[in-house]
Structure 1
Amino acid sequence: MSRIRAKNEEKIIRAASRIFAEHGYAATKTADIAELARLPKPNIYYYFGSKEKLYRAVLESVTEPLLAASGPFIEYRDPVKALTAYIKAKLMISRDYPYASKVFANEIMHGSPHLPEDIIARLSEQTRTLAARLSDWMSQGLMARVEPRHLLFAIWASTQTYADFNWQITMALGKDELDEEDFEQAAEVITRLVITGCQVRSLAGE
């Protein structure tokens, strides 16, 4: 892929993320995306072929990082390290992909009418893998026994809210936008709640 093509596709996805987030799939016009991206409207179809394919590209722009965020569960045997890194990764997605995260959340809230089956399958498999890892740590006595999927739901809700409900959070904090310190503080608080609340402890020697 040429540098120019990659740059233009990134600009279009970034613009589309915002327009889809603000107007929803049905009400979004490719002309508005082109205007925000500062590119001719035919470029939208040249690079993506259709509005539906562009929407999928927006979803993939956030689902790929969401899938990659589970890496610490594979990388670390120690649950404290894994959960700390996982929570941080999830928050960085809210920081780096705020509009795409809103698009994803809106898609889920409407029953995933446009979410491709392959993405659903990958996300479902990830959930099973993460839940199994948590269950394994519980069996080892490294954390309290809780329903692992509901623990994941709690982590998702607390991290993704920094993108999906950004307006509410910035309003409550009395600022126009969140900065690095806000995300660091959020990571510290959420991690402490999970580690302490679930009585998570490190492996001996880790």
Structure 2
Amino acid sequence: MARIREHNRELIIQVASELFADKGFAATKIIDIANRAGIPKANIFYYFKNKKSLYLSVLETVIELLLQASSPFQENNDPVIALKEYIQAKIAISQSHPHASKVFAVEMILGAPHLPKEIADKMTEQTQQSSRHIQSWIDRGLIKQINPHHLLFTIWASTQTYADFNWQILKVTGKKKMDKKDYEQAADFIVELVLKGCDVRSSMAEANYPHWKWI
């Protein structure tokens, strides 16, 4: 029974993310979600108090993944490994949750009108923590003098575009759908762009040249 409930809840969130991405919060109706999911409208209210509650659940699915994606900054002392794993995680979110990513992007564009303050604060604090890790690598001479915030902004834009602007990418490439190899190539390219563009060095360089600094 618990497995059925979890399945139904995930189905509702998935369908809702598609409709919220296509129509926006205001234009999406609960009955439309129920019809596409193939379940009675009353079933949705069994799992979610109202439309806003369901919308927040859609946002939280991708926000949780975005927060988890930053873990390489805390778990790795080597900027080469941390940045590579971070970029790969961000691309993976665009691949696995494209609709929820679009919903999140629109929410940000509109000034986060529905996002609870505690979640917004948590995301801001984690971004600041990631920025501090990047700054520590800069101070140690492992990355050239850059603005950590702008590096993160650039990574966000380049990775999330594969979900938020998927239609445009498919139109340009002539594909009907991106496959696993496409996402892997995208991640590899962004990793190379960041590592070479910011002259990122492994912590092994610090061990070999402890007094080396960017000039």
The TM-score range, normalised by the shorter chain, is: over 0.9
Once residues 195 and 19 of structure 1 are traced to their aligned partners in structure 2, the CA distance between those partners, rounded to angstroms, is 37
- Corresponding position of 1:104: 104
Once residues 104 and 72 of structure 1 are traced to their aligned partners in structure 2, the CA distance between those partners, rounded to angstroms, is 22
Give a deviation string over 1:28-86, Cα, whole Å, max 9, x none: 10011111111111011110110010000000010000000011111111000000000
Once residues 50 and 116 of structure 1 are traced to their aligned partners in structure 2, the CA distance between those partners, rounded to angstroms, is 16
Structure with higher Rg: it is 2
The residue type paired with residue 163 of structure 1 is: A
The residue type paired with residue 184 of structure 1 is: E
The Cα RMSD (Å) is 1.1
- Corresponding position of 1:32: 32
- Corresponding position of 1:78: 78
Once residues 96 and 37 of structure 1 are traced to their aligned partners in structure 2, the CA distance between those partners, rounded to angstroms, is 19
What is the TM-score with the length of structure 2 in the denominator? 0.94
Once residues 79 and 186 of structure 1 are traced to their aligned partners in structure 2, the CA distance between those partners, rounded to angstroms, is 20
Once residues 119 and 174 of structure 2 are traced to their aligned partners in structure 1, the CA distance between those partners, rounded to angstroms, is 37
Once residues 96 and 35 of structure 2 are traced to their aligned partners in structure 1, the CA distance between those partners, rounded to angstroms, is 22
1:144 Cα deviation after fit: 0.7
- Corresponding position of 2:171: 171
Is residue 20 from structure 1 mapped to residue 30 from structure 2 by the alignment?
Answer: no
Once residues 198 and 126 of structure 2 are traced to their aligned partners in structure 1, the CA distance between those partners, rounded to angstroms, is 21
1:161 Cα deviation after fit: 0.2
1:91 Cα deviation after fit: 0.2
Once residues 37 and 54 of structure 1 are traced to their aligned partners in structure 2, the CA distance between those partners, rounded to angstroms, is 14
Which runs of 5 or more structure 2 residues have no equivalent in the other structure? 208-215
1:182 Cα deviation after fit: 0.4
- Corresponding position of 1:7: 7
Once residues 202 and 37 of structure 2 are traced to their aligned partners in structure 1, the CA distance between those partners, rounded to angstroms, is 47
Once residues 141 and 68 of structure 2 are traced to their aligned partners in structure 1, the CA distance between those partners, rounded to angstroms, is 27
Q: SS at the partner of 1:182?
A: helix
Give a deviation string over 1:84-103, Cα, whole Å, max 9, x none: 00000000000000000000
Q: SS at the partner of 1:26?
A: coil
- Corresponding position of 1:66: 66
Once residues 55 and 166 of structure 1 are traced to their aligned partners in structure 2, the CA distance between those partners, rounded to angstroms, is 21
The residue type paired with residue 36 of structure 1 is: R
- Corresponding position of 1:124: 124
Identity of aligned residues (%): 53
Once residues 152 and 108 of structure 1 are traced to their aligned partners in structure 2, the CA distance between those partners, rounded to angstroms, is 16
- Corresponding position of 1:196: 196
- Corresponding position of 1:57: 57
Once residues 193 and 36 of structure 2 are traced to their aligned partners in structure 1, the CA distance between those partners, rounded to angstroms, is 40
- Corresponding position of 1:148: 148
Q: SS at the partner of 2:178?
A: coil
Once residues 35 and 126 of structure 1 are traced to their aligned partners in structure 2, the CA distance between those partners, rounded to angstroms, is 38
